[in-house]
Chains A and B, each alone.
Chain A
Amino acid sequence: MSKKKIATVWLGGCSGCHMSLLDIDERILEVAQLADIVKCPIVDGKEFPEVDIALVEGAITSDEHLKEILHIRKQSKILISLGDCAIMTNVTGMRNYFNLKDVLETSYVGSISNDDAGEMPNHWALLKLKDKVYPLQEIVEVDYSIPGCPPSADAIFYVLSELLNDRIPDLSEAKKMKHG
Chain B
Amino acid sequence: MDNSNKKQIVISPVTRIEGHAKISLQMDDSGQVTDARFHVNEFRGFEKFCEGRLYTEMPVISARICGICPVSHAISSVKACEMIQGVEPTYAGNLLRRLMHVGQNISSHALAFFHLSSPDLLLGYDSDPAKRNILGIAEKYRDVAIRGIRLRKFGQEISERITGKKIHAMGIAPGGIAFPLTEENRLALLNWIPEAKETIHIGINIIKKFHDENEAMVKSFSPTPTLYLGTVGSGGQHELYDGKLRFVDADGVILQDHVEPKRYLEFIAERSVNWSYLKSPYYKPYGFEKGIYRVGPLARLNVASRMKTPEAQVEFEQFKKINNSKPVHGTFYFHYARLIEALSGIEEAEIILNDKLITDKHVQHFARWNNHVGIGCSEAPRGTLFHHYITENTGKIKKVNLLIATGQNNPAMNRSILDVAQQYIHGDKIEEGMLNRVESAIRCYDPCLSCSTHAMGDMPFMVELVNAEGKILKRIARDN
Seen from chain A, the residues whose Cβ lies within 8 Å of a Cβ on chain B are: 8-20, 22-23, 25-26, 28-29, 32, 37, 39-48, 61-62, 64-65, 68, 90-92, 94-95, 97-98, 102-104, 106-109, 111-115, 117-127, 129, 149-150, 153, 180
Contacts and interface: CB of A to CB of B under 8 A. Distances in A.
Interface stretch (B86-94, B223-231, B274-282): B274-282
A114 B480 contact: no
Contacts of B194: none
A32 B145 CA distance: 13
Give the residue among A17, A61, A180 with the most B Cβ atoms within 10 A: A180
Interface string B1-32: 00000000010111111111010100000000
Interface in B153-191: 153, 156, 165-168, 170
Contact of A125 (B39, B138, B270): B39
A180 B164 CA distance: 10
A28 B149 contact: yes
Nearest to A25: B153
B275 A123 contact: yes
Nearest to B264: A113
A86 to B, nearest CB: 13
B452 A15 contact: yes
Nearest to B163: A180
6 nearest CB pairs, A to B? A16-B67, A15-B452, A118-B272, A41-B453, A42-B457, A64-B19
Contact of B167 (A16, A47, A62): A16
Contact of B43 (A90, A107, A113): A107
A102 B48 contact: yes
Interface in B253-273: 264-265, 268-273
Contact of B67 (A11, A15, A121): A15
A129 to B, nearest CB: 6
Interface of B: 10, 12-20, 22, 24, 37, 39, 41-45, 47-49, 51, 61, 64-68, 70, 111, 115, 129-130, 133-135, 138, 145-146, 149-150, 152-153, 156, 165-168, 170, 264-265, 268-277, 279, 281, 288, 388, 399, 401, 403, 448, 451-462, 469-470, 477-480
10 contacts: A12-B42, A19-B67, A43-B458, A47-B15, A62-B19, A62-B41, A90-B64, A97-B49, A126-B41, A150-B168
Contact of A121 (B152, B272, B477): B272
Contacts of B275: 121, 123, 125-126
A65 B264 CA distance: 36
A14 to B, nearest CB: 4
Contact of A18 (B18, B156, B452): B452
A41 B14 contact: no
Given A10-B17, A16-B70, A106-B45, 17 more contacts: A19-B67, A19-B455, A40-B455, A41-B16, A41-B18, A48-B15, A65-B18, A68-B19, A95-B44, A107-B272, A111-B270, A112-B265, A112-B401, A123-B274, A125-B10, A125-B22, A149-B64
A41 B44 contact: no
Nearest to B24: A125
Nearest to B277: A121
Contacts of B477: 44-46
A62 B129 CA distance: 29
Contacts of B51: 106
B388 A112 contact: yes
A20 B20 CA distance: 20
A95 B12 CA distance: 27
Nearest to B52: A97
Contacts of B47: 106-107, 111
Given A25-B153, A43-B130, A118-B272, A180 B168 contact: yes
Contacts of A122: 274
A108 B67 contact: no
Nearest to A119: B274
Given A29-B138, A92-B44, A103-B49, A113 B403 contact: yes
Given A43-B15, A106-B47, A123 B272 contact: no
A41 B167 contact: no
